[in-house]
Structures are given as C-alpha cells and as structure tokens.
Amino acid sequence: MNIGAASKASGVSAKMIRYYESIGLLAKAARRENSYRDFDERDIHDLRFIKRARTLGFSVEEITRLLGLWRDAQRPSREVKQITGAHIADLETRIAEMQGMVAALKHLSAHCHGDDRPACPILQDLGGPEISSASPQDKRKRAAGLREAAL
Amino acid sequence: MNIGAASKASGVSAKMIRYYESIGLLAKAARRENSYRDFDERDIHDLRFIKRARTLGFSVEEITRLLGLWRDAQRPSREVKQITGAHIADLETRIAEMQGMVAALKHLSAHCHGDDRPACPILQDLGGPEISSASPQDKRKRAAGLREAAL
DNA sequence: AGTGAGGCTTCCCACGGTGGTAAGGTCAAT
DNA sequence: ATTGACCTTACCACCGTGGGAAGCCTCACT
C-alpha cells in the first residue's frame, strides 16, 4: 500500500503520515525496492486510531501513550480512563475560559451601537485603565491538541 | 521607562514586547543613548490594550486592526463591533467543537471500568472501524488567538 | 577604582501541528 | 519514449511564546 492509498484509507494526509513516522508516533513503515513506503493493515489501523484521537482533541503526546496501551493487550483500563479524564478536564478548562471571553465580549458588544458614530465601549474597555479580567489565565502546560487540529 | 518597567506596568513580558514591536503591532519604541528602549505613556497604553485583547482571545492580526481603530478618533463603531462579532462567532464554533469532544469522551469514559481489567471501550472506539465522528472539523482559517495565549 | 549583580541588546532555537514547494526518482499507460 | 501521476527528501512558513547565549551598560558596594 502506497502512502497515497494509506492516506485515503485513513484520512490522514501523506504529509502528516510522514510526520507521525518521523516523530515516532507511527512505526517506521516498510520500504519497497523503490524506497516507497509500504503500509500494511496494522499501519492503517494505527493511522485511523490517530486520526480519530486527534478529532477528539488528544495531543500527539497523549496519543503516543494511548497507542502504547492499545498494543498492550494486558493493559489495565485504569490508565486509559485516567488519560481520558485528564483530557476531559483540560478541554473543560479551555471551554470555560472561552466562555468567559464570549460573555465579556457579548456584554461589550451589546453596548456598542455599531454604526457610524465613533463612540464604542469595546475600545473603551480595551484601552481603559486596569480592568478586572475574568480570570488571570493560568498557564499550566497543556498540549496544543485541538487548537491546531482545528486550523 | 525601560523595557523591564514597561513590562511590569503592562503585564506583557519583555520578550513579547520586543516581538510585538518586531511585527509592527507596537510602534517602534524610542531609544536612549545606550540603545535601550524608552517607553512612554502611549506605549504603556498600547501594551495594556494588547494584553487585554489577548486575554479576550483576539489574534494579533485582529488586535492590529483594533489598535488602528482606537487611534482613529473618527472610526465608525461599526467596524469594531464587526470584528468583535466575528471573533465571538469563532470562539463559539470552537467551544461547540470542544463540547462535542467532551460529550463523546464522557460517554466512552462512562463505560470504561477503569480498573485492572484490560477491556476498555475507549480504546475500542479509537481503534475500531469507521466511526461516525461528531463533526468533520471544518478547517476554515481561524486565527491562533486563544490557543497559544492559553499556554 | 574595581567588582559583581542585574539590567539591557541582538540573535538563534524550540514547541505543536500543519501546509507548501522544490528538486529529484519511479511507475504505468499511451 | 514521453507524459502525468505518484513517490522521495529537505527545507520554509505559520502563530505566539519561552529559553538561552554572548555581549554591552549601569548602579551600588566595597
């Protein structure tokens, strides 16, 4: 199976397949005499796994662990659940942050005429003196995950 | 005002102040004889403006426009409201996507024992055959905005 | 007057993921 | 034998942020 075929079969772009291989997320594909990569069913499975996990917002780092667990038939489901739980919490934190932004923005926007007049509470707020930001944005380490996947 | 003082006064790291200057978001700061940057009140205002706007998830590109509007006393508030509205819509799309992920993950997690047994519906789902993903992730251009701000 | 600490300066590197593109090899079919 | 569709590697870009090196500058203290 060529990389193009693997790409179609998995929904992962050829570009990303090579990338995943390069960072060790995906096992190094076999090579034909032409030096073309040759993917088997196992690779396709892994690619689909990765694709699906990315769709669910897991970071590549998390997927590495999940794939490792997948391959270990003996793994305790505890670990999988733990990773998933942490990811859910992460997503929820980010959702809450964004909801805070939306609320603040909607509030400002509601008081902005949005016509030819220059008066605008949105800019007033942005430019104004110390403003009590909704939450001071904790900067805990957080996988890039979805953010880029959504680009 | 040195860059350190400006950083403290605005809450923007010295690193980012230089970066914002380099990309033209912030006007080039005056220099002293030592070649040290010298910030005035106007710069501090702009930095606070940027800081606040980043907190609200605006991308640097959007902030460039907003700052331009701020400086134009004659600007029609329409434009500001329009930018803000687009940003709100963007945020809401991303929130919805993440909420979809959370829902799917919670569903899977609920059916995973999370103990020593290896059986795990989460991995089953990830590794399983074609799954009907919540939404096929539209990839419309979207400013990086929050994603990185939240790191 | 010298020394050390802590500014400041520029410059490059890394991250996460993804896309682009150029320069070359290969294949299959006309 | 040529064309066009594929493959290969290798590099660059994005966004926003942090890290660090190497070299000045300044100030306070000895």
**H helical segments located in A3-129:** 3-10, 14-22, 41-55, 60-71, 77-110, 121-127
Partner-chain residue, chosen from B85, B102, B127, that has the shortest CB–CB distance to A88:
B102
Residue A135 has pLDDT above 70, yes or no: no
Q: How distant is C1' of C24 from CA of A4, in Å?
A: 19
Q: Domains of chain A by range and CATH?
A: 3-55 (1.10.1660.10), 77-149 (no CATH)
CB contact under 8 A, A118 and B77: yes
| Residue B58: HSE in the Cβ half-sphere, 13 Å Cα cutoff | 26
Pairing of strands B30-31, B37-38: antiparallel
- Chain B residues lying within 8 Å of A101, measured CB to CB: 55-57, 91, 146
pLDDT in tens, chain B (151 residues): 999 999 999 999 999 999 999 999 999 999 999 999 999 999 999 999 999 999 999 999 999 999 999 999 889 999 999 999 999 999 999 999 999 999 999 999 999 998 999 889 999 899 876 544 433 333 333 333 323 333 2
- The alpha carbon of residue B35 is apart from the nearest alpha carbon of chain A, in Å, by 28
**What does the pLDDT look like over A82-122, one tens digit per residue?**
999 999 999 999 999 999 999 999 999 999 999 999 889 99
What residues contact residue B128 under an 8 Å CB cut-off, 6+ apart?
A: none
Q: pLDDT category, A149, cuts 50, 70, 90?
A: very low
pLDDT at B21: 95
- The alpha carbon of residue B137 is apart from the nearest alpha carbon of chain A, in Å, by 7
Nucleotides of C under 7 A from a protein CB: 7-10, 16-21, 25-27
CB contact under 8 A, A88 and B80: no
Residue A48 has pLDDT above 50, yes or no: yes
CB contact under 8 A, B84 and A112: yes
d(CA B89, CA A52): 25
CB contact under 8 A, A150 and B49: no
SS3 letters across B80-132: HHHHHHHHHHHHHHHHHHHHHHHHHHHHHHHCCCCCCCCCCHHHHHHHCCCCC
